[in-house]
Amino acid sequence: MSLLLDEIALATARLAEAGVPSPRTDAEEIAAFVHGVRRSELHLVKDSDFDALFWEGIARREAREPLQHITGRAYFRYLSLEVGPGVFIPRPETEVLAGWAIDRLREMDVATPTVVDLGTGSGAIALSIAQEVALARVHAVEVDPDAYAWAKRNIDELGQGRVTLHPEDLADCLPELEGMVDMVVSNPPYIPPDAVPRDPEVRDYDPPIALYGTGADGLDQVRAVERTARRLLRPGGFVAVEHADDQGPAVYLIFEEENGWRDVRNHQDLSRRDRFVTARFGQE
């Protein structure tokens, strides 16, 4: 066994003792990042090339700093995104919402669908749609300056000229697109103010503005998404909005039929937990 693989085994034990949920994977990811190779190539690193910076990364992860802050990268569907302090790290659960939106857009009889991503964060959903839906024109909205800076980096690198970033509030953004949008997507802040996450990676590193919703139930931003989607969507357009796994019924009720919403549905993530609500606006 090589020196690096021996060190990875020791690091795995340290990370497991610290309560890191995926210690072996994280140790290998840090090793691959430090040595500039893929995880599948770790066995090729020569003993003489071992870099002690590996242990600096392990110490940071042992202190429960997110892996993505150490490597500077987060993976979302087919994207590799730049992330770091000041931006919400995209989650695998949100990939299901993005996949639903992509499937619906591909089914539409629209040559160049217009999409709005409210609260884009790193740009993960917006960029996935731009990458996977031919000719889609995506507008990404982000009011927080720190997150906006990360989104700009990713959109400049990966946006293919089809993602436009707007430094606006999701509650009153894009008046120029009223009644013209085919799809609105959003992963807004929705954690109730008094519900502090248990995971240190979330509690101590994700920006509070991206985590905590306002209102007693944390859903005021979801209500704002509903109002904005109602204003932006064309008749027959769709909205998809993420929520916590215990908020499905409450979010479902936000999309009221009397406000023009049809086909309101709860959707589950890969863990079979309620994760996002979709609805169609008005009639075709």
Instruction: Name, in order, each residue with C-beta under 8 angstroms of 94's C-beta and a sequence gap of 6 or more.
Output: 76, 124, 125, 187, 242
Q: Is 99 annotated as a binding residue?
A: no
Q: Is the dihedral of CA 43, 44, 49, 52 positive or negative?
A: negative
Q: Is 189 annotated as a binding residue?
A: yes
34: which DSSP letter? H
SS3 284: coil
CA distance 269 to 184: 19
Residue corresponding to tokens 């569907």: 77
Q: Is 121 annotated as a binding residue?
A: yes
Among 277, 218, 283, 233, which Cα is nearest to 251's?
277
Tokens encoding 249? 């019924």
Q: Amino acid letter at 40?
A: S
Question: Which residues are registered as beta bridge partners of 198?
Answer: none
In this structure, are strands 274-281 and 233-242 parallel, antiparallel, or unpaired?
A: antiparallel
Q: Is 190 annotated as a binding residue?
A: yes
CB 156 within 8 A of CB 178: no
Q: Is 200 annotated as a binding residue?
A: no
Q: Is 248 annotated as a binding residue?
A: no
* Known binding positions for S-adenosyl-L-methionine: 119-123, 142, 187
* Known binding positions for substrate: 187-190
* Known binding positions: 119-123, 142, 187-190
